[in-house]
Structures are given as C-alpha cells and as structure tokens.
Structure 1
C-alpha cells in the first residue's frame, strides 16, 4: 500500500528538464525490445543499475551502448519515446523536455532526420491521446563525435525548430565527459545560440574540467546539466561559481544518477545542498530513469528526506522549475495556473 508520503510526491505536479530518451527506457519497454531482438542475447541486468548497485561513469556509458543496440529503427524510437512519455505522465510530470542524440543505422535505414521525426511523432501521438503532459525535445550533440558532426546536429536542430511549431526548442551537449574538449564544439554552440536555440550543457561532470567549464560558461548556456565539480570544495573554483551565480544559470540536478555513477559519494554529500542553501535555481531531475531505476517522484522524496525539506519547500522547488523551461512565457503562465489549481488536492 502506498503511504501518504509517497502519495504526496506522486501527486505533486512536476517538471522534468533533464531526461535522456534512451536512458529513460523502463524495464517493461526493454522487455518488449528484447523480445523483438532475441538474437542480441541481451538481459535486463545489462540495461539498468538496480537498487544499491553502483557503476563507474565508464560502465554507465557501456549500458547506453547496449540500449542503442536494442533501439536502432524508427519503429523502436517511436515505441520507446511513446512509452517514456506515458510513464512520465503517470508519475505526475506535467511538462517534459526529452533529449537525445540523433543516430543513423544503415542496416535498418534509420537516418538522423528520421530519428527526430519519430520522437516528434511520439510527442504528437501522446498529445492526441489526451495525456496531461506538455512535451518538448532537445536535440543532443554527443561530444565524442567532434566538430563537424556537432555543426551538422545544430543545422538539423535549427531546421526542426523552424518546422515543428516550438516542439524542438533547444540543444543538449552530452556524451562521455572524459572524451574531447568543449573548445572544438564552441563554433556549433555559438551558431545554435545565435539562431535562437536554447542551450543546456553538461558541465563539470568530472573533476579537472575547469578550463573547459570556463570556456562554455562564457557563452553562457541557458541551463547546466549536473555541474558536479563547479564549486571549490569539489575541485572547481570560486570564479566558476561566480559566473554561474552572476548569470543566474539554473542547474539540473540528478541525485540518484550521480550517486550510482559514483561522481558523488552519497546522497547527503550531493551538491544540491550547496546550491540550494545559496538560493540558486536548482531543478530536481532524473537524468536516466530507466538506467538508474528511479522516477521523478522518488527523486523529490529523496531530496526531501536527505536534506530535511518540508512538503511546502518541495512544492516551491517543483513550482520554481517552471521558470527555467525552454518553452515561451505563455506556457509558463499556463503551468503556474495548473500548479495553483492542483495545490488544494496535493495538500489535502
């Protein structure tokens, strides 16, 4: 039986701003994908990190490689994106920005354009089903693929931004943080910014990236993913913190992901506390709800129990996330009205 505390977090209206599509695939969807491709001999343990388990960052990226083997056609992407959106909606998420790197697979005829089109189709299908969730898409640059591919990705994102009536509204920079350097991606990111795409950049995910973080903060990005090692106590610097604070750049914080990926030693030492106590915009997110066996309700509950936050403080945290979505002000206003309308029901 669900207790009252669990019910509060599930009924809490939520905003999810850092969710990688392939990392958000649930056990149920993985099951469907495995049954379609038995020849791959993939088992559940290869696609998710269970309760109490941890992996190195490198091992986490190996998990994505396995999932990519299962998701390699337009049909797969449509199913995966549809399932992921439905699951976020069932968890009380009212606004979702999904992100993913468009891939091509010669064997199945999948193109990068077809990849994005399949995600857009899933978003539109879920809308026509009447799901109470507003979904947008951020096209992701994988830093491992270098300058040229990054520029191609931006051009693709630009094209979809103009043709999808606001469904594609930004760009994510992600991929293995130990590979490549931000300076090689700067031309693509500048082009994206200049054409009106919003930027959410994975930044300072691993130690000793001060130079790169400094460079990328000079853009500046509209939001930061993780930012684990920005502050001096974690090997960052006061000057990095000052840039983030001066530009009021919100952080997308993913507690379970960081603990299971071992970039943070334990929940109580998560950098959420550092930024939250400072009053800096901090958004609770899942990162990869499938891979890390979590959901957004659980992440809010973990935040509350770890840092002693009241229901009122959690409500405020959830509501303030609306200010940092990439959709226009009219959408923000609608969401704020929805939150106000739902408040009596959640605090009943």
Structure 2
C-alpha cells in the first residue's frame, strides 16, 4: 500500500449513508449463495464492478437479487455483523446503517424481528469490542405509500424508545422514479415530532425538484445525494437557499452516483459545488458491496479529484462528526478520538 492509500485507510471516518443490503461484501455474498444454491444466483448479479456503469433501474434490480439471498433472521444477523466489522476494519469509527424492515411469509421474518435482528448485530459487535459506534435508521421505501410509511414510523418510534439509543432516525429512500414525497409528509412530520431525525433522499433524478422543495419545508436533518438541487444541473437557487438557510448537511456518494449514471464523471460530481460553498458535506459509500468500494476509497477519490490536501481531507472527516444523529455526548467522544489520532495520522 502506498503512503497515500495508508493515510486514507488510517483516517478515522464517519459513515452516514450506508444501506445494509447494498453494503454486503463479496465474501458475505459468497456465504449467502452457498446457503441457497437453489436460487442459482451468481456474483455478477449482486455487484457493479470496476469500470462498469448501470442505469438506476438496473441498480435497483441488483437489490432485488440481494433481498432473495437475505430473507431470514439468521441471514440478517450474519450480514449486519459482517458489514459492521468491515466498516470498522476500514477505519470507520461511527456508522449509521439504514434499512427498510421487510417481512417474509415463507421464513416467518416480520418487520419487527427484522429491526430487532439488526439491533442484535450492533450489540453483538459492541460486546466483541469492535472499535466502532453503530446506530440505525429505519427506512421508509417511497414506493409503498402513505399507510406503510405510517406503520414504519410507528415501528421506528417504538425502537427509538426501547433500543437504548441505537435507533436514532428515519430514512426515506427507494426508487426515486416511483411515488411522490407529498404523500409521505404526514408520516415524516409525525416522525420528526416524536424526536426521530430525518435523512431524506432528495433530487436523485432531475424530475424531483418540486418534491424536494416540499420536503425541504419539514426540514429534514440531512439530505441523501441531492444530485439535482443546484442550478448548474437544472435545480434552482431557491431550493439551494433553503438548504443553506437551514444548514442541512448533504450525504454525498461519489462512486454510487457515477456508476448509477446520475453524475457523468467524478470531476463533475456535485461535491465540488457544495464544498466550495463551505456547506457541510459528508463523504459516504451508499452501497459499498453493490458499487465495489469502501469509505477509504471514496475519500481518496474525492481528494484526488478535487485536489484536497491530507489536512483538508482530515478536516472534512472531522466535520462529519457534527452531522451525526447520536447525542452531543457521542459527538464529544468522537472528537476526542480524532484528536488522539491526529498527530499519528497527519504526520
């Protein structure tokens, strides 16, 4: 490993946009495939390799394949513990995982047991002494409409109260070309009122400006992607102004956007737009398994594409602590951890 790669690996990192099923590594997929040979699933169906591009539709097809492999509590426990350990091995010190609770009639998996199993995995890794603080965001899949969104909020509220601070918020995600966010506002407002933090996927595709404008009135606590918010790519200044006025951090996933073809190239990524404004922007992976990346690589890409020094990259990683959904005391502990590591990593 060259010195540069070592720096990004050792850099303490915060990951705030990681979908559980999209983060499943090649090695874990191997184990899942061997458990379910009857499905005839091949690796090429679960990941998008180097140099490959996929349309957004094709990316969502990949998730459907992974869901077939992960349909029992046992699968979820293995997947979640593997994902947590891998993030920790990559120098991630604080992780917010997100996932839509699913039920599988055939295996007896319920939405409640789905969330319970993810929480169990987080607790298990903690007991093993894995050096990472993990929290969970319960996800609303936008295609499932108002009623299911309300049920999901109820579930998230229950776990926020019973999980000892592990469930901290709600994610709105799913295929951006399906459904309209206006139908989900009552559920999101209810979640916000109950104390859950909101991270919403906004403007992933160009046609979502009106929806983004509406959802920004909540306002959310963080924005996922926000690819088409700014005027240079067909967004609007008034939408940008709302983001700036409320100081809403963006979760930016470079490789995911390039491989999913919503951004033409790394150099054209909207990270540059927000970073130049000095707006809080957090580098994330989105789906490290599907897009064959990790957070060290994403930082390396951002730094080399936009000519960030090691010091500027360190600052970017340190500022991500301000954007986490865990309480202030946790932020303080993380800042202390960064301070302790600074002289060793930033040599």
Answer whether TM exceeds 0.5 for this pair. yes
The correspondence of residues 15-54 of structure 1 with structure 2, limited to 5 A, is: 15-54=14-53
Question: CA shift at 1:344, angstroms?
Answer: 1.2
CA contact (8 A) 2:202 2:223 kept: yes
Render the CA deviation track for 1:272-315: whole Å, top value 9, x for unaligned.
00000000000000000000000000000000000000000000
Q: What number of residue pairs does the alignment pair up?
A: 347
For residues 320 and 265 of structure 2, the distance between their equivalents in structure 1, rounded to whole angstroms, comes to 24
The correspondence of residues 110-259 of structure 1 with structure 2, limited to 5 A, is: 110-259=109-258
What is residue 266 of structure 1 aligned with on the other side?
265
Question: CA shift at 1:165, angstroms?
Answer: 1.2
CA contact (8 A) 2:311 2:346 kept: no
2:53 is the counterpart of 1:61? no
Q: For the aligned residues, what is the CA RMSD? A: 0.4
Question: CA shift at 1:200, angstroms?
Answer: 0.1
What is residue 86 of structure 1 aligned with on the other side?
85
Q: Give the TM-score, by structure 1 length.
A: 0.99
Question: CA shift at 1:24, angstroms?
Answer: 0.1
For residues 285 and 63 of structure 1, the distance between their equivalents in structure 2, rounded to whole angstroms, comes to 20
Render the CA deviation track for 1:138-192: whole Å, top value 9, x for unaligned.
0000000000000000000000000011100100000000000001101100000
CA contact (8 A) 2:143 2:179 kept: yes
For residues 344 and 34 of structure 1, the distance between their equivalents in structure 2, rounded to whole angstroms, comes to 44
The correspondence of residues 267-282 of structure 1 with structure 2, limited to 5 A, is: 267-282=266-281
For residues 110 and 208 of structure 1, the distance between their equivalents in structure 2, rounded to whole angstroms, comes to 36
CA contact (8 A) 1:17 1:325 kept: yes
For residues 336 and 185 of structure 2, the distance between their equivalents in structure 1, rounded to whole angstroms, comes to 38
For residues 326 and 66 of structure 1, the distance between their equivalents in structure 2, rounded to whole angstroms, comes to 30
Q: Give the TM-score, by structure 2 length.
A: 1.00
CA contact (8 A) 1:171 1:197 kept: yes
Render the CA deviation track for 1:23-69: whole Å, top value 9, x for unaligned.
00000000000000000000000000000000000000000000000
For residues 210 and 321 of structure 1, the distance between their equivalents in structure 2, rounded to whole angstroms, comes to 26
Question: CA shift at 1:347, angstroms?
Answer: 2.0
For residues 227 and 268 of structure 1, the distance between their equivalents in structure 2, rounded to whole angstroms, comes to 17
2:342 is the counterpart of 1:346? no
Runs of 4+ in structure 1 over 4 Å off = none
For residues 332 and 299 of structure 2, the distance between their equivalents in structure 1, rounded to whole angstroms, comes to 23
